[in-house]
Amino acid sequence: MRRQLQLSVACAAAFLIVLLGLPLANYYAPELMATRVAGFTLSWLILGVVFFPVVWVISYVFIKRSIGLEEAEVRQVENERKG
């Protein structure tokens, strides 16, 4: 449970840095965030399009590791039972 929580917290931190950092970037660097990329402003492109794949990557990593942790735990307990 402790390792699961650590994993969850690490993934949440990665997500929160992106999510809560974007308003700060808009606040402190408005001109940079208004740079044009194919018509979009940079800020619009990040929030409206790029954000989704980033979240998918975080959740994919989480699920792989989380299911791995569970299996490790099961193996450990079963070994103890046998021994």
Partner 1 sequence: MGTTSFLLAVVDSGGVDGWIVAFSAITVIVTLWMGFRAAKTSKTASDFFVAGRSVSVGWNASAISGEYLSAASFMGIAGMVMSSGYDALWYPVCYACGYLFLLLFIAGPLRRFGAYTIPDFAEGRFDSPLFRKIAVCFVLFIGFFYTMPQMKGAGVTLAYIFPSLPYWAGVVLVGGVITLNVALGGMKGITLVQAFQYWIKMFAISVPIFVVMAVYGGYGAHIGANKTVVENAAPIVEVTRQPLTEKAPRDEVWVAPFGPLTTKAVNAAAKAMPEEERAVFLAEKQKSYSLLYTYSLIIALVCGTAGLPHILVRFYTNPDGGAAKRTTMWVMILIGVFYVFPPVFGVLGRNLLPELYAGLGAKGTDKIVLELPRLIAEKYGVLGSILSGITCAGAFAAFMSTFSGLLVSMTGALAHDVYGRILRPQSTAEQRLRAFKFSAVLIGGVAVLLGCFVEPLEINFMVGQAFAIAAASYFPLLFMSVWWRGMTMKGAATGMLAGGLCALIAATVTNLATLSLDPGPMGKLFAGFKGMNDFWATHPLLRILCEQPAIWAVPLAIVLMVIVSKLTSKDVPSDVRMKMLVLHAPEKLGLKQEYIQEHQAGLGH
> What is the binding site for partner 1 (CB under 8 A)?
1, 4-5, 8, 11-12, 15, 19-20, 23-24, 26-27, 30-31, 33-34, 36, 38-41, 43-44, 47-49, 51-53, 55-56, 58-60, 62-63, 66-67, 70-71, 73-74, 77
Closest approach of partner 1 to the CB of residue 67, in Å: 6
Q: Which of 43, 12, 40, 50 shows the shortest CA–CA distance to 25?
A: 43
**Which CB, 24 or 82, lies closer to partner 1?**
24
Among the residues of 1-83, which ranges form H helices?
Answer: 2-28, 30-33, 42-45, 51-82
DSSP symbol at 40: E
